[in-house]
Amino acid sequence: MTSIQFENVSKSYGGVLAVDQVSFDVPDNAFFCFFGPPLSGKSTILKLILGLETPDSGEIFFDGRPMRDVSSPDRNVAMVFQNLALFPHMTALENVRFPLVERNIDEATIKARVAEVTDKLHMAHILHKPPSQLSGGERQRVAIARALVRDPVAYLMDDPISALDARLREETRVELRRMQQDMAKTLIYVTHDQEEAMSVSDQMLILEEGRVCQIGAPHDLYDAPNSTYVASMLGSPAMNMASAAEVIGALAKTPDINQSTSVVGIRPEHLTVACKDGPGRVTGIEPLGATTILSIEAAGVAWKAALRGQPEHSIGAPVELSVDPGALHCFDAQGKALSAA
Amino acid sequence: MTEVTTLMPATKKAETQANSAARLGLWLTLPAQLLVLFIALFPILMQVYISLTDWSPLDGIPWWRAYELWIGLLNYTDLMADSRFWGALWRTLFVMLVCVPVQFLLGLGLAVLFVDDFRGKRVLYSTLLVPMMVVPAVAGYMFFMLFQSGGPVNDLLSFFTSEPVRIAWLSDPDLALIAVMVADIWQWTPLMFLILLAGMISVPQDQQMAAILLGASWWRRFFTIVLPRMKSIIIIALAIRVIEIFKIFDTLFIMTGGGPGVATETISVYIYKVTQQELIWSYVAAIALAILIVLSVVSVFAIKRMQRGQDG
Amino acid sequence: MSEIALENLGKSFGDFTALADMNLTIANGEFMALLGPSGCGKSTTMNMIAGMLRPSSGTIKFNGLDVVDVPMAKRGVGFVFQNYAIFTHMSVRENLAYGLRAQGVRAGEMTKRVQAFAELLQLEPMLDRPAAGLSVNILQRLAIGRSAILEPAIFLLDEPLSNVDAAFRAVMRSELKSLQGQFGQTMVYVTHDQLEAMTMADRIAVMDHGKLLQVGTPLEIYNNPADTFVARFIGAPGMNILNGRLTQQADTVAVDLPGLGSVALPPALQAAAARLTTPDVLVGFRPEQINAAKAGLTMHVGFVERIGARTIVHMEQGAASAKAVLLSEVETPKARKDWTFAVPDDAIRLLDPVTGQALVGRPN
């Protein structure tokens, strides 16, 4: 039950700014996700929250209380590391119990607390095993349980499920989301997987080279990215980007595009593809079952179109592209979003 | 503008806070740091000091008053002209140039054999490591017995040549050094083997698989994948042995006492004799410092090579 | 160019059977994905094709010739390792030339071929750079180029994208696919990611617990999964599978899903249903084929996961759980409320509740 605020926080290592004037506000009980490519400052922000690093400037607040002089253990923030950092010589149960045993809590409380957490995570059958005998997903559970059992004010997770199988990742992220809602705790999450980030979080913060690009609910960022950078980070396949002239050349009906527009973005799912003579040519088909991804060349640009279902198309065939004017994203020469064209 | 002006002092304040915290930390740890530095440096500084005097424990004055016998660099100029010192130094280098390569090649060969699994590997492995665990003094005594004129080595030679061999290994000036080197190779090849094996095991298996699938023969793989990837560990192993050979003493001293004459007198034996028998401590200090400098140069060279190996 | 035939292939390690009785023919020039969760036997199969493992039973034939006794260096197989196994102590050029040099190709010829491949793979600018510290897409290209330069008839790839950032995987996928187009070799690709298999492979072999469950084109497998495992494994999320009971309604058979409602069976499945001896049956339908409706099945919405263009609705009813995938434009159901949806006739699949096998009589 803690809100976390950053106020103009900067941190540099050897003259290189890792975090640059970052401000944000993680509300109580939010699932808050930091998203960005490697070295965009995600890990540094986690370290700053944990108190493992001190900001060069700016202030960090927990529930409005400045954290500058609060040591890392006193912040009572739990962390699940990317490599999980399980103790290999202990069983899963001993791993989960560890943070409580270290705090000299009485045995009955430990038992109750551990049972509560391990029940929630459905891990009774693996408790007696050492980490070496657990699968990737099971290790994940142990690490998360070990963080949960402490009952901290907030949890930090640094890309905790990236090592799992694709299928297990999909299940675990839903599980994580459920867990967070059950526990009613602030959870700060770092990932480089856009689908995972959009799936789990209440709010996302997109970082580029230590600076905040945009903060908001995932679908707001997806529907209204404030820059080409944010637009390109979310969505798979990524948003098509082309110059205004190219868009006019590629589309059947000339859309109305604002004069100052330099780049136009169109989400693959907003492109409509008609099988008739047009400026486009199909260069690739990826049938995924639920959707079909077409690669199309038109006006010298490679486009991706995501079509629902399994429509018939053939490579090399001419096609006509069209788009609902409301689905155009317009950006200026600096890559900043312009209000709808 | 207003935003900037209100922000600047906060930034400045934060920086000074961080700086002062760092400075306080430095002051608090200073005593401990000084103590560590003192412990590490004191013996060396004492050596430097003593080596510039003519002090000996027989002079009846405490070591710290050795400045009364100040002789400047005289010990060092003496050292330059000391043929016994140079003889011992060259002898040590000779032992090094023979023993280290032999130990390396034997160790490498054994490592190649032991990197794959075979029946009885564990027993053989433990047996091979036994020489390393034998106390050097005991090893010295063992080889002293082995190389007696009526000892097993001569018996073995007699058996192969079918005529009685009575070589006086340890009292022949040329053969004594060979006997000493055999003992050193026997005792320290296992260490080389152990280090090289560890290095060889750490060469990634998939790299070797990839090379096999690209059609590389065993030798090609060994020279293009295994050895280059072991470079750092090879340099460490060689450096350890080179430094150890400078310190070669106990086994040798028991076998030959440095003799006959000075035939097996290495640097360490020479230093021991000067200290214990001739009691010229200040001179010993000078020798020790000279050796330290030589070894430092070797280590720096090895570390440089290693860093280059990691970059490349 | 080579055809690979696996005949009754099996491998066990002590008591553990890693692969049992696998029969699969991979056609010349085909891109075949071996897909399954970890421990399903896909890597074991691949390692046997490469010659790193010896089969416990069965044979492997390349173009009709048994290769079980051919050592791996002689099989002419290109292998791309999960971590690429690039020789990081060498330059890019030395990596590319390694195989040629090992096979004693003349220096002039070698330089020419390395140059040609460097151009093809756009590795020219970094030819003389050390291979350590290159970015992962360059490493992938180098790993493929290093094998491809020997012109192997068969290319094996062992989860080459599993260490790649999610954001970058799409780029790497299309690059890999276009490389295969250029070289035209038979490719066997091991992966646990159904998306990779669906987007790249000509055909997919789905495996689990050492058994081959189904082989087919991506759409065949997606549309008509052979059993419950394949049905759940393919698709993101996988197929919904619910317990149902066949009920006779007038002259047609319908399936009653306890607590949810009932669905009418399409004519094509009526006959298959009639052949069943017990009324218990499993009903499968894809989450993305569900539409909101006035009447149909009703479930309780647990929570709603919106991911860009689509929304996944997680639903429960008693012991049953199901998912629906809706386009974001469509009005999404409210969490913690009941939601009624319809499953189109042709989306319904029936599976045997005991064996898990799909019941024949598929609608299309």
Judge whether C316 lies within some domain: yes
Q: A52-74: buried (b, 16+ CB within 10 Å) or exposed (e) per residue?
A: ebbbbbbbbbbeeeebeeeeeee
Q: Please tell me which residue, B106 or C104, carries the higher pLDDT value.
A: B106
Residues A11 and A88 in one domain: yes
Does residue C237 have a cis peptide bond before it, meaning omega lies within 30 degrees of 0?
yes
A8 in reach of chain B (CB within 8 A): yes
Tokens of B44: 């060396």
C128 falls within a domain: no
Q: What is the tens place of the pLDDT at every residue in A184-243? A: 788 999 988 888 999 999 999 999 999 999 999 999 999 999 999 999 999 888 899 999
Q: Is residue A338 part of a domain?
A: no
**Res. A1 pLDDT band, cuts 50 70 90:** low
Q: What is the pLDDT of residue B3?
A: 38
Same domain, A105 and A220: yes
Q: Using 50, 70 and 90 to split pLDDT, how confident is the model at A256?
A: confident
**Mutation target among C98, C100, C144, C146 for the B interface, most CBs of B within 10 A:** C98
Identify whether the C-beta of residue B88 lies closer than 8 Å to the C-beta of residue B170.
no
C349 contacts chain A (CB < 8 A)? no
Do C215 and C269 belong together in one domain? no
pLDDT value for B59? 77
CB count, 10 Å around CB of C65? 10
Shortest Cα distance, chain C CAs vs residue A116, angstroms: 21
We report the CATH number of the domain holding residue C178 as 3.40.50.300
ipTM: 0.83
A202 shares its domain with A99: yes
Name chain A contacts of C234, Cβ cutoff 8 Å.
Answer: 289
Torsions phi, psi of A88, nearest 5? Answer: -70, -25
Count of structural domains within chain B = 1
Q: Is residue C76 less than 8 Å (CB to CB) from chain B?
A: no
pLDDT means per 10 residues in chain B (312 residues)?
Answer: 40 58 85 90 87 82 83 85 87 92 95 89 90 88 87 87 82 87 92 94 89 89 92 89 85 84 85 80 86 81 70 44
Are A46 and A155 contained in the same domain?
yes
- Contact of C98 with chain B, judged by CB distance below 8 Å, is answered with yes
Statement to judge: residues C280 and C145 lie in one domain: no
Interface test with B, best of A7, A57, A68 (most B CBs within 10 A): A57
**Model confidence pLDDT, tens digit, residues A167-201:** 778 888 887 887 787 777 889 999 888 889 999 99
| Domain around B237 | 82-134+178-279
Asked if C98's CB is within 8 angstroms of B216's CB, the reply is: yes
The answer to whether residues A92 and A131 touch, using CB atoms and an 8 Å cutoff, is: yes
> Which pLDDT value is given to residue B309?
57
The total number of structural domains that make up chain C: 2
Say whether A165 and C167 touch across the interface (CB within 8 A): no
Query: Do residue A197 and residue A261 come from a single domain?
Result: no
Work out how many CB contacts closer than 8 A connect B with C.
Answer: 56
Chain C environment of A286 (Cβ under 8 Å): 198-199
Write the CA distances from A108 to A315, B9, B89, integer angstroms: 67, 52, 71
Q: Which of B214, B217, B225 sits opposite C146 (nearest CB)?
A: B214
Same domain, yes or no, for C187 and C277?
A: no
Domain boundary among A232, A250, A281: A232
Q: What is the CATH number of the domain that holds A203?
A: 3.40.50.300
Contact at CB, B225 and C103, closer than 8 angstroms: no
Ranges of H-type helices in C121-277: 136-148, 166-183, 194-200, 218-223, 228-233, 267-275
Q: Looking at chain C from residue 261 to 290, which residues have their Cβ under 8 Å from any Cβ of chain A?
A: 286-288
Q: Per residue in C67-100, pLDDT tens?
A: 999 998 888 899 998 888 999 999 999 999 999 9
**Is residue A66 located within the same domain as residue A108?**
yes
Q: With contact defined as beta carbons under 8 Å apart, do A188 and A4 qualify?
A: yes
Phi, psi dihedrals of residue B58, rounded to the nearest 5°: -80, -10
* CATH, residue B116: 1.10.3720.10
The count of CB pairs under 8 A between chains A and C is 104
The two tokens of residue C128 are 């003389």
Token representation of residue A131: 């980490």
Q: Are residues A325 and A226 in the same domain?
A: no
Q: What is the pLDDT of residue C364?
A: 39
Q: Are A129 and A91 in contact (CB under 8 A)?
A: yes
Residue A158 and residue C345: Cα distance in Å, rounded? 44
Q: What is the dihedral of CA A140, A143, A146, A152, to 10 degrees?
A: -100
> Which residue, among C82, C136, C305, C336, would best test binding to A if mutated, counting the most A CBs under 10 Å from its CB?
C305
pLDDT of residue C209: 92
Confirm or reject contact between B18 and chain A (CB < 8 A).
Answer: yes
Cα gap C95→C80, rounded to integer Å: 13
| Cα dihedral A156, A162, A164, A167 sign | positive
Q: How far apart are the two ends of chain A, measured CA to CA in Å?
A: 42
Distance CA C230, CA C37 (A): 11
C112-131 tens-digit pLDDT? 999 988 888 888 899 999 99
**Three-state secondary-structure class, residue B189:** helix
Q: Cβ of C98 and B228 within 8 Å?
A: no
Asked if A193 lies within 8 A of C193 by C-beta distance, the reply is no
A138 vs A275, higher pLDDT: A275
Domain finish residue from A232, A253, A286: A232
**Do C180 and C257 have their domain in common?**
no
> Within a domain: residue A336?
no
> Chain A residues with CB inside 8 Å of B18's CB?
54, 56
Averaged confidence pLDDT in chain C = 89
Q: Which residues of A touch B21 (CB under 8 A)?
A: 54
pLDDT of residue B1: 38
Higher-pLDDT residue of C236, C361 = C236
Range in A104-108, A164-168, C89-93, C103-107 the model is least confident about = A164-168
A279 and A313 co-located in one domain: yes
Q: Is B10 close to A57, i.e. CB distance below 8 A?
A: yes
Sign of CA dihedral C176, C178, C184, C188: positive
Count interface pairs A-B at CB distance under 8 A: 17
Kindly state whether residue B253 falls inside one of the protein's structural domains.
yes
Residues A68 and A120 in one domain: yes
The predicted structure's pLDDT at residue A19:
93
Candidates B274, B296, B277; CA nearest to B88 is B274
Together in a domain, A26 and A157: yes
Query: Quick check: C111 pLDDT over 90?
Result: yes
Contact (Cβ atoms closer than 8 angstroms) between residue A215 and residue A207: no
Contact between A257 and A341 under an 8 Å Cβ cutoff? The reply is yes
C305 reaches A (C-beta below 8 A): yes
* B251, amino acid identity: T
Range of the domain at C247: 240-351
Min Cα–Cα distance to chain A from B15, Å: 6
Within-domain flag for B61: no
Give the pLDDT band of residue C4 (cuts 50, 70, 90).
very high
Residue C214 lies in a domain: yes
Residue B205's Cβ-count burial label (10 Å; 0-12, 13-18, 19+) is: exposed
Give A36 to chain B, closest Cα distance, Å.
26
Distance of residue A297 Cα from the nearest chain C Cα, in angstroms: 15
Give the phi and the psi of residue B247 in degrees, each rounded to 5: -100, 5
Task: Give me the pLDDT at residue B17, please.
Answer: 60
State which of C192, C223, C254 marks the end of a domain: C223
Helix or strand (DSSP H, E) at A95: helix A92-102
Q: Which domain holds residue A200?
A: 4-232
